Structure 1
């Protein structure tokens, strides 16, 4: 079974990695989504201040096969309601 490495990065750099044996690239992509979900579950609200999370997936030879990027952008409310009632 092929081996895939999942490297997790945020704004500060690499925060972790994991090696998993999976049947194919489709399974590796699904695993990347699961890894992103776990990573987002442990970060606090500061992610929304222009946060960045990236999961790089490489195969057993170290070749890149997929990248999942999640960016948070906070758009502050203006505090006015121009003509809306």
Structure 2
């Protein structure tokens, strides 16, 4: 079964040295989406400065087979979430 490695580059390199076996690239793609979603959910507040980060999925030979790219910008239009707002009466 092929082994795939999920590396994250977001200003820091998080290298997957172990990898995970999947039956095919389709399953590795689903895992990349799941993993990226978990990262966005858990670390999402840190990505709002416009800096691009990506996940590079490689095969056992180190060849890139998938790449997911993300960036997020806070446009400053929404009210500051740290301050309470009151609803109009």
TM-score > 0.5 by shorter chain: yes
Displacement of 1:75: 1.3
- The CA distance in 2 between the partners of 1:36 and 1:78, in whole Å, is 25
Give 1 or 2: higher strand fraction.
1
> SS state of the match for residue 43, structure 1?
helix
Is 1:55 the equivalent of 2:55?
Answer: yes
CA 47–78 in structure 1, closer or farther in 2 if over 3 Å, else same = closer
Is 1:14 the equivalent of 2:39?
Answer: no
2:3 equivalent in structure 1: 3
TM-score by length of structure 1 reads 0.77
> SS state of the match for residue 75, structure 2?
coil
Gapped regions of structure 1 (runs ≥ 5) = 80-85
Stretches (4+) displaced over 3 A = none
Give the length in aligned residue pairs. Answer: 78
TM-score by length of structure 2 reads 0.74
For the aligned residue pairs, the C-alpha RMSD in angstroms reads 2.1
CA 19–74 in structure 1, closer or farther in 2 if over 3 Å, else same = same
CA 2–47 in structure 1, closer or farther in 2 if over 3 Å, else same = same
